[in-house]
Amino acid sequence: MLIHIVFSVAGVLAQGTTASMPTPTPVAAKGTIEPAGAVAILWDSEAAKADCVAANSAALVRRSEMNLARVRRGLSPLPPADSEEPEVCVAATVAKLTRGTEVSIEPEPQRCGAMKRIEVLSGMNQGKKGCVRSNDLDDAGPPTGGATENQPAATQP
């Protein structure tokens, strides 16, 4: 009977210990926007960016075909197109981020695929979330020592 009581108390202690420990949540790494051009585009998702690229490509093909038809009829080509973006691109663009914008890199990039999911931490777009190309991001890297929100980083001896 004494053995049964010891095992019962040990089982209750073990259950209480695991139930009271919070699940560690990864801490987001920080970085800054460092685009190759003037701005980096913050996209709604990787699929939205792909739709925009496809729409732009289709618009360029249509314009080229129109100009070829004009030249064949002896007319001059159309002047360069305005920089109007297709509607799908306007809808897919969350923001345009300038060099040095501070961001938090989200640990779970479900919507972003090969791109990085971020939240803007500074500037006029602060608080916006979306996807950026990895090469537009100066990644400060993950926190050292495997720190999590609920668990401090390991200390080195």
Domains of the chain: which residue ranges? 26-52+86-141
Mean pLDDT over 112-130 rounds to 91
Architecture of domain 26-52+86-141: Roll (2.30)
CA-angle at 149, arms to 112 and 147, nearest 5°: 90
Mean of the per-residue pLDDT values for the chain?
Answer: 74
Q: What are the pLDDT digits (tens) for 19-70?
A: 455 555 555 688 888 887 788 899 898 999 999 889 888 888 888 898 899 9
Q: Is the pLDDT of residue 122 over 70?
A: yes
Q: How far apart are CA 155 and CA 17, in angstroms?
A: 24
